[in-house]
Amino acid sequence: MEERHKNIKPIYDLVVKKVFRNEEVALQFVKDIFDLSAKSAKLIEGNQIFSANSNVETDFNIAVDILVELDNHAQVIIEVQLAKQVFFINRIWSYLCKQVNDNIERLKQTEKEKLAIYRKLPPVYVAAIVDQNYFDGEDPISTFLIKEETRNTELKMYVDNATKEMPLLKIVFLELKKYKPELKESYNKVRWLEFFGNKKYTSEPGEVIDRADDLLNVRNWTKEEQRMYDEITRQQDHYWASLAYAQEEGRAEGRAEGRAEGRAEGREEGRAEGIEEAIITLMKNGHISPEVAAAQLKLNIEELNKYL
């Protein structure tokens, strides 16, 4: 399917953050994806720009990719993921729990009464925009709530000054690779799949999406933003090219060893060893993070340490 932009990837970290720095765009995204009524949004976190090969341990404390706070007190974490990670959902949960805890600690400092802490505690939701599939089925948008097991009653919470109860928890996944032009979802949601998936719009996307698209014009970026994007692109291209090369080398080694020893398992062992070696080399050289390497090797971080 033809791409909307030839020279830019809307899902890259730097690009997503640039888009959501526009609070009107951030507000519309949250309203569309979470069906929330809000009149304004404020960007709390999301201005940080990191190099493509930033160290995972250094980045661990940066909290979330993007945090938006609405005028109805709800907070929305927006996370973007290019490569599939085994522990990505665990990571989302840790971010969500940390944000709730941070909110409690902040309210402890500002509220004298304990009941006020609970009364003013905002709900925290998560939107995960992912370039790899995580769930079975063909639906590109998956919404998770907390519901009673037999009655299907949704668990909600009261929020100070809100006119109605709000969901206690809401996590929405946008799986970009599942997008199809004939989707029956509300177009207010589908247009975001098209925007971040770099697809041609199948309907009139609206003024806010047009404004977001204008933010993807690299000619209007600062020199620092252009330099960072070029670095990210080089790192990503090198990663995928190296992985493809490793897979081919592994297949070649496997065939050669299989012929030499006359055993079929030689092909599999050679292929696996070649891929493993290339992934570990990419990690040691800083081209991919240990988390990405662990996901590719289907290991946890502790098991990965044996290669170091």
pLDDT, tens only, 32-83: 999 988 888 888 876 554 444 444 333 333 346 789 998 888 899 999 888 7
pTM, full prediction: 0.73
Q: What percent of the chain has pLDDT over 70?
A: 75
Is the Cα torsion angle 144, 149, 150, 156 positive or negative in sign?
negative
Q: Mean pLDDT across the stretch 136-157? A: 95
Backbone angles phi, psi at 215, to 5 degrees: -70, -15
What is the predicted pLDDT for the residue at 246?
60
Q: What mean pLDDT is reported for the chain?
A: 80
Confidence of residue 220 (pLDDT cuts 50, 70, 90): confident
Nearest Cα residue to 71 out of 179, 3, 190, 162: 162
Among the ranges given (95-109, 192-206, 226-240), the one the predictor scored with the smallest mean pLDDT = 226-240
Give the pLDDT score at 256. Answer: 60
For residue 206, the model assigns a pLDDT of: 95
Q: Which helix (H) or strand (E) holds 109?
A: helix 88-110
Provide the 3-class DSSP secondary structure of residue 66: strand
pLDDT of residue 48: 52
The token pair at 26 is: 């951030």
At residue 22's C-alpha, the angle toward residues 20 and 23, to 5°, is 90
Per-residue burial over 159-170, b = 16 or more CB atoms within 10 Å of its CB, e = otherwise: beeeeeebbebb
Average pLDDT over residues 89-101: 93
Lowest mean per-residue pLDDT among 10-14, 112-116, 117-121, 242-246: 242-246
The model's confidence at residue 130, banded by pLDDT at 50, 70 and 90, is very high
Q: pLDDT tens for residues 162-175?
A: 667 889 999 999 99
| pLDDT of res. 232 | 67
Rounded to 5°, angle at Cα 136 from 140 and 4: 30
